[in-house]
Chains A and B, each alone.
Chain A
């Protein structure tokens, strides 16, 4: 889709990506939209995409039977959501629900996996960027784990 190329090239996640690779991604991309309350994906489903959020806010949730869903993180404009497509068994481990009207670019992970096996350089470019996100998320999660605001006496 030609209209998506400028949008993709401006997204911070893909900064510096070679135009050829950008074209490949554009070929795997589609415009998506979720209304408030709508689920992007659910735990256990096959994970075949990831999302580059352009607008809105999405809650990453865990279902806890007695408490209902607990939000562990929210992502918004400029963020990337979803890395389960990278790692077998390619299944979502969390729910993702739009909190408000959310627009995103969905990228076909399955397609990108295949192309990355063919061209390892493409794979490396994608993995470099995803590692960054995963590390940031891990650091933030650790900080969350520390529960620093907890009252101590």
Chain B
């Protein structure tokens, strides 16, 4: 059971049949295991009972406005990319209660919530999503006001990341320099290899905690050819990206082009449904709602995820600042690619491609950027 002494940075091999042991160790340590599973014809993130809940033998075909699951020829456990869910589902939460208040005569008491912080083990986190978590950390953990709920959940997660073995149809992490290889933010990182030698995972140890956990799981030293096989899996994936985005001076490009006619063009297609914001792993906007019960004695404030595409997102007495669809799409895209950089020092986009896949009319953020950039080049050539 116990293998050679493990250190951060070590690479070892975990056989496919021993993966369940890893989950068992995590469960024993009090973690709630969440990861990818098939539901409603998509691969979503939810609590896993065992390895059997992973989407073995499934892959996803993604393109603009298209998502289909297809059976694979093999039984890879992580042979797909990202689905409509992202890890903000567990860290930021779609809905939560902020506090309660109780009326006492003409006064009232505010009662802080005291929910127990769940300890999640995230299984199968892709590099793009690790970057997304890091950027949401900048919003909710760094900065003057840390969000207590996000922070406590965040401090209690254990991350088992996965290096993508194949790129998705809408992926462009290479352009955004966010993958496909996982480089930080993980306790353990797995690269799945299926070849003539068998089905195994090359495991990189990322933290002391990861080493601790792995010590209780059957593993062995990695042979050179196994390390090479894992490397080539990742390299092959890098070459398969479905999309690309030129990020050269992209902030300045979009700042210059607030009045570009392309925005009107997109507005003609955009339904302002907000799907892109909902599936985006970095979108963090929330709203608060106040409730009372019928007696008026108890009040509650809840926070829930919000999208900047709604008509009342920017409402102030009498009207919305961004009432046209054009303005709302422009807000989302320029925030994601440009103003985010001024706000947080990094791009808001991690190249996961979800917004392209889940847009009902297949609006493609890489295409829109390209259109604006190229029209500028054309103008310069004309001059």
- Contact residues of A with B, CB < 8 Å? 151-153
Chain A residues near B317: list those with CB within 8 A.
151-153
With both beta carbons as reference points, the residue of chain A lying nearest to B319 in the complex is identified as A152
CA distance A151 to B319 in the complex (A): 12
- Chain A residues lying within 8 Å of B318, measured Cβ to Cβ, are 152-153
CB distance from B316 to the nearest CB of A (A): 9
- In the bound complex, CA of A152 to CA of B319 (Å): 8
6 example contacts (A-B, Cβ-Cβ < 8 A) are as follows: A151-B317, A152-B317, A152-B318, A152-B319, A153-B317, A153-B318
Kindly list chain B residues whose C-beta atoms are within 8 Å of the C-beta of A152.
Answer: 317-319
Chain A residues whose CB sits within 8 angstroms of the CB of B319 once the complex forms:
152
6 interchain residue pairs of minimum CB distance? A152-B318, A152-B317, A153-B317, A153-B318, A152-B319, A151-B317
Contacts of A151 on B, CB cut-off 8 Å? 317
Complex-state Cα separation, A152 to B317, whole angstroms: 6
Across-interface contacts of A153 in B (CB, < 8 A):
317-318
The B301-318 residues at the A interface (CB cut-off 8 A) are 317-318
What is the distance, in angstroms, from B320's C-beta to the closest C-beta of chain A? 12
Number of residues of chain B lying within 8 A (CB) of chain A? 3
Contact residues of B between 273 and 300, Cβ < 8 Å to A: none
Chain B proximity of A13: nearest CB distance (Å): 40
B296 CB to nearest A CB, Å: 24
Chain A: CB-nearest residue to B316: A152
CA distance A153 to B316 in the complex (A): 9
- Of chain B, the residue at the smallest CB distance from A152 is B318
Q: Please give the distance in Å from A151's CB to the nearest CB on chain B.
A: 8
Shortest Cβ distance from B325 into chain A, in angstroms? Answer: 22
Distance from B123 Cβ to chain A, minimum over Cβ atoms (Å):
50
Q: In the complex the two chains form, what is the Cα distance from A153 to B317 in whole Å?
A: 5
Q: How far is the CA of A153 from the CA of B318 in the complex (A)?
A: 5
User: What is the CB-to-nearest-CB distance from B117 to chain A, in angstroms, rounded to a whole number?
Assistant: 41
Distance to closest chain B CB from A150 (angstroms): 9
A146 to B105, CA, bound (A): 46
Q: Which residue of A lies closest to B317 (CB)?
A: A152
B5 to chain A, nearest CB (A): 69
Distance in Å: Cβ of B311 to nearest Cβ of chain A: 16
Q: Which residue of A lies closest to B318 (CB)?
A: A152
A153 to chain B, nearest CB (A): 6
Closest chain B residue to A150, Cβ basis: B318
Alpha-carbon gap, A151 to B316, bound state (A): 12
The distance from the CB of B27 to the nearest CB of chain A, in whole angstroms, is: 54
Q: How far is the CA of A18 from the CA of B318 in the complex (A)?
A: 53
CA distance A118 to B350 in the complex (A): 76
A132 vs B71: C-alpha distance in the bound complex, in angstroms? 77
Q: Could you tell me the distance between the alpha carbons of A151 and B318 in the complex, rounded to whole angstroms?
A: 8
Question: Which of chain B's residues has its CB closest to A151's CB?
Answer: B317
Q: Mark B11-29, 1 if CB is under 8 A from A, else 0.
A: 0000000000000000000
B136 to chain A, nearest CB (A): 35
A46 to B318, CA, bound (A): 45
Complex alpha-carbon distance, A5 and B317, angstroms: 54
Q: For chain B residues 115-132, which have a beta carbon within 8 Å of chain A?
A: none
A112–B319 alpha-carbon span in the complex (Å): 51
A146 to chain B, nearest CB (A): 13
B361 to chain A minimum Cβ distance, whole angstroms, is 34
User: Considering the chains assembled together, what is the distance between the CA atoms of A153 and B315 in angstroms?
Assistant: 10
Quote the shortest CB–CB distance from A27 to chain B (angstroms). 54
Mask: chain B, 247-286; 1 = CB below 8 Å from A; 0 = not: 0000000000000000000000000000000000000000
